[in-house]
Amino acid sequence: MKALEDKILSEGRVLEGGVLQVGAFLNQLVDTSFTEKMAADIASAFADSCITKVLTIETSGIMIAFATASALGVPMVFAKKNKTSNLSGEMLTAEIRSFTHNNTYTAAVCADYIKPDDNILIVDDFLANGEALRGLISLARSGGASVAGCAVQIEKGFQQGGDKLRKEGYRIYSLAVIDEMSTDRGIVFRQM
Ligand code: 5GP
């Protein structure tokens, strides 16, 4: 999506360690009308997939997942990262290794919210090593649901998580794929 690539170049900041900061329009200050445009693009890519629910993980996946679910006319459910007192009953859980925080956490969704007749679209903000998407795929599967595919706003192609998932047969739809990124040489997008 050319408009997203332009926004990454003008408003994003490349940090040390292969991290892209996009707090100015995506992760903290949220450009709502642009989020709706990105969501419309994802929704049209999955328009024929009979999606029944969009699944994401808190916190930064929620905005694009909500907008995508709204565009598709289906509910959105998000996995929680910490078991809190307002989670009770049977839970679906998955262990996820965090790229940005360098730790492992348990993602949890109430088992009532994912059912065997669900056909799930997984949505997140970033795809790096693919751990978050793998965790969400495993959560959906453990509830007996089908996974139609995954969509992300920004894939960091140089970390290869997306291409590994594609090789395993998953449909991975990314609005922008960064193949090279460094503080001195800037950002190179994949031609799609
Ligand atoms: P993965 O699990 O694919 O390694 O990493 C994806 C998760 O890590 C996303 O949910 C996202 O929140 C976070 N993430 C990974 N790389 C970046 C990055 O460069 N910038 C930001 N803001 N978040 C990232």
CB of 130 shorter than 6 A to ligand 1: yes
Q: Inform me whether the pLDDT recorded for 121 exceeds 70.
A: yes
Closest by alpha carbon to 152, among 13, 14, 24, 20? 20
Q: Residue 128 C-alpha to ligand 1 middle, in angstroms?
A: 6
The pLDDT value recorded for residue 63 is: 98
pLDDT in tens, 62-116: 999 999 999 999 999 999 997 665 667 899 999 999 988 889 999 999 999 999 9
Please answer whether residues 16 and 45 qualify as being in contact, where contact means their C-beta atoms are separated by less than 8 angstroms.
Answer: no
The beta strands (E) that lie in 98-192 are given as 104-110, 119-127, 146-156, 172-182, 186-189
pTM beyond cutoff 0.85: yes
CB of 19 shorter than 6 A to ligand 1: yes
The pLDDT value recorded for residue 89 is: 84
Q: Inform me whether the pLDDT recorded for 6 exceeds 70.
A: yes
pLDDT in tens, 130-187: 999 999 999 999 999 999 999 999 999 999 999 999 999 999 999 999 999 999 989 9
Edge-to-edge strand ranges of the sheet holding 53-57: 76-79, 53-57, 119-127, 146-156, 172-182, 186-189
CB of 78 shorter than 6 A to ligand 1: no
CA 134 to the chain's CA centroid: 11
- Mean pLDDT of the region 10-15: 96
Query: To test ligand 1's pocket by mutation, which of 8, 16, 126 has the most ligand atoms within 8 angstroms of CB?
Result: 126
Q: Residue 79 C-alpha to ligand 1 middle, in angstroms?
A: 15
Give the chain's radius of gyration (CA, Å): 16
Q: Inform me whether the pLDDT recorded for 3 exceeds 80.
A: yes
Q: Inform me whether the pLDDT recorded for 51 exceeds 60.
A: yes
Protein residue with its CA nearest to atom 10 in ligand 1: 126
CB of 4 shorter than 6 A to ligand 1: no
